[in-house]
Amino acid sequence: MTFQMTIPELETYMAEIFPQVAQDFRIEAIKGDETVMRLLTSDRHLRPGGTVSGPSMFALADCVMYAAILARLGKVALAVTTNCSIDFMRKPVANTDLIGTARVLKMGRSLVVGDVLLCSEGDSRPVARASLTYSIPPAGNPQ
Protein backbone atom coordinates (compact mmCIF):
# COMPACT_ATOMS: atom_id res chain seq x y z
CA MET A 1 0.00 0.00 0.00
CA THR A 2 1.25 3.46 -0.79
CA PHE A 3 1.60 6.13 1.86
CA GLN A 4 -0.32 9.43 1.68
CA MET A 5 1.76 11.36 4.23
CA THR A 6 5.45 11.60 5.13
CA ILE A 7 6.72 11.46 8.72
CA PRO A 8 7.15 15.28 8.96
CA GLU A 9 3.64 15.78 7.54
CA LEU A 10 2.24 13.31 10.06
CA GLU A 11 4.02 14.96 12.98
CA THR A 12 2.79 18.40 11.93
CA TYR A 13 -0.78 17.19 11.50
CA MET A 14 -0.84 15.25 14.79
CA ALA A 15 0.51 18.31 16.61
CA GLU A 16 -2.48 20.26 15.25
CA ILE A 17 -5.15 17.74 16.21
CA PHE A 18 -3.63 16.49 19.50
CA PRO A 19 -1.85 19.59 20.84
CA GLN A 20 -1.88 18.31 24.45
CA VAL A 21 0.10 15.13 23.80
CA ALA A 22 1.82 15.34 20.42
CA GLN A 23 5.11 16.51 21.94
CA ASP A 24 5.27 13.26 23.97
CA PHE A 25 5.58 11.10 20.86
CA ARG A 26 8.01 10.87 17.97
CA ILE A 27 7.53 8.80 14.81
CA GLU A 28 10.63 6.70 14.27
CA ALA A 29 9.77 4.85 11.07
CA ILE A 30 7.03 4.00 8.58
CA LYS A 31 8.02 1.13 6.34
CA GLY A 32 6.15 -1.74 4.78
CA ASP A 33 3.57 -2.98 7.27
CA GLU A 34 5.16 -1.38 10.33
CA THR A 35 4.90 2.01 11.97
CA VAL A 36 7.24 2.70 14.90
CA MET A 37 6.69 5.42 17.51
CA ARG A 38 8.64 6.47 20.60
CA LEU A 39 7.14 7.70 23.87
CA LEU A 40 9.58 10.33 25.16
CA THR A 41 9.14 9.25 28.74
CA SER A 42 8.91 12.07 31.26
CA ASP A 43 7.68 12.51 34.81
CA ARG A 44 4.01 12.75 33.93
CA HIS A 45 4.06 9.25 32.36
CA LEU A 46 5.55 7.55 35.39
CA ARG A 47 4.33 5.66 38.41
CA PRO A 48 6.31 5.36 41.66
CA GLY A 49 9.42 3.32 40.87
CA GLY A 50 9.90 5.15 37.61
CA THR A 51 7.97 2.78 35.36
CA VAL A 52 5.62 4.01 32.66
CA SER A 53 1.95 4.03 33.70
CA GLY A 54 -0.79 1.94 32.10
CA PRO A 55 -2.62 4.95 30.62
CA SER A 56 0.65 6.13 29.03
CA MET A 57 1.15 2.70 27.45
CA PHE A 58 -2.43 2.81 26.19
CA ALA A 59 -1.81 6.29 24.76
CA LEU A 60 1.30 5.13 22.87
CA ALA A 61 -0.52 2.12 21.42
CA ASP A 62 -3.44 4.28 20.27
CA CYS A 63 -1.19 7.01 18.90
CA VAL A 64 1.11 4.78 16.85
CA MET A 65 -1.82 2.94 15.30
CA TYR A 66 -3.52 6.26 14.54
CA ALA A 67 -0.35 7.42 12.76
CA ALA A 68 -0.27 4.16 10.78
CA ILE A 69 -3.83 4.80 9.58
CA LEU A 70 -3.23 8.45 8.73
CA ALA A 71 -0.12 7.50 6.76
CA ARG A 72 -2.24 5.18 4.61
CA LEU A 73 -5.49 7.16 4.30
CA GLY A 74 -4.31 10.76 4.55
CA LYS A 75 -6.02 13.57 6.41
CA VAL A 76 -9.44 12.97 4.85
CA ALA A 77 -10.41 10.28 7.31
CA LEU A 78 -11.20 10.91 10.93
CA ALA A 79 -10.71 7.47 12.39
CA VAL A 80 -12.30 6.83 15.79
CA THR A 81 -10.96 4.20 18.22
CA THR A 82 -13.77 1.74 18.95
CA ASN A 83 -11.93 -1.03 20.81
CA CYS A 84 -8.59 -1.64 22.49
CA SER A 85 -7.59 -4.85 24.20
CA ILE A 86 -4.24 -4.56 25.94
CA ASP A 87 -2.17 -7.14 27.82
CA PHE A 88 0.37 -5.85 30.31
CA MET A 89 3.13 -8.43 30.52
CA ARG A 90 6.19 -6.97 32.20
CA LYS A 91 7.12 -3.87 34.12
CA PRO A 92 8.69 -1.33 31.74
CA VAL A 93 12.35 -0.52 32.45
CA ALA A 94 12.48 2.52 34.76
CA ASN A 95 13.06 5.96 33.25
CA THR A 96 13.41 4.59 29.73
CA ASP A 97 11.58 5.50 26.50
CA LEU A 98 8.96 3.07 25.24
CA ILE A 99 8.95 1.97 21.60
CA GLY A 100 5.62 0.99 20.02
CA THR A 101 5.53 -0.98 16.76
CA ALA A 102 2.17 -1.07 14.98
CA ARG A 103 1.08 -3.54 12.32
CA VAL A 104 -2.07 -2.95 10.25
CA LEU A 105 -3.91 -6.26 9.77
CA LYS A 106 -7.03 -5.05 8.00
CA MET A 107 -7.62 -1.77 6.21
CA GLY A 108 -11.32 -2.04 5.42
CA ARG A 109 -13.65 0.63 4.11
CA SER A 110 -15.36 1.09 7.47
CA LEU A 111 -13.10 -0.72 9.99
CA VAL A 112 -9.34 -0.83 10.49
CA VAL A 113 -7.77 -3.49 12.73
CA GLY A 114 -4.19 -3.71 13.89
CA ASP A 115 -1.93 -4.63 16.76
CA VAL A 116 0.93 -2.99 18.60
CA LEU A 117 3.89 -4.38 20.51
CA LEU A 118 5.43 -2.15 23.21
CA CYS A 119 9.03 -2.59 24.40
CA SER A 120 11.32 -0.57 26.63
CA GLU A 121 14.13 0.81 24.50
CA GLY A 122 17.04 -1.62 24.44
CA ASP A 123 15.04 -4.63 25.67
CA SER A 124 13.37 -6.93 23.14
CA ARG A 125 10.94 -8.57 25.58
CA PRO A 126 7.53 -6.90 25.11
CA VAL A 127 6.10 -5.01 28.09
CA ALA A 128 2.62 -4.89 26.55
CA ARG A 129 0.66 -5.95 23.49
CA ALA A 130 -2.48 -4.23 22.24
CA SER A 131 -4.99 -4.87 19.50
CA LEU A 132 -7.06 -1.93 18.32
CA THR A 133 -10.05 -1.33 16.06
CA TYR A 134 -10.95 1.99 14.43
CA SER A 135 -14.13 3.04 12.71
CA ILE A 136 -13.74 5.12 9.55
CA PRO A 137 -16.66 7.46 8.86
CA PRO A 138 -18.14 7.19 5.35
CA ALA A 139 -16.30 9.29 2.76
CA GLY A 140 -18.00 12.59 2.03
CA ASN A 141 -19.73 12.37 5.37
CA PRO A 142 -17.54 14.49 7.67
CA GLN A 143 -18.31 14.23 11.38
State yes or no: residue 56 binds a copy of itself (CB under 8 A): yes
d(CA 16, CA 81): 18
8 A C-beta contact, residue 131 and residue 114: yes
State yes or no: residue 12 binds a copy of itself (CB under 8 A): no
Nearer to a copy of itself, 5 or 127 (CB): 127
Q: Return the residue of 7, 36, 79, 129 that touches a copy of itself, per CB under 8 A.
A: 129
How many residues lie near a copy of itself (CB under 8 A)?
42
State yes or no: residue 35 binds a copy of itself (CB under 8 A): no
State yes or no: residue 31 binds a copy of itself (CB under 8 A): no
Q: Return the residue of 2, 8, 31, 44 that touches a copy of itself, per CB under 8 A.
A: 44
Binding site for a copy of itself (CB under 8 A): 17-21, 43-44, 46-48, 53-56, 58-59, 62, 80-90, 105-106, 108, 110-111, 113, 115, 117, 125-126, 129, 131, 133, 135
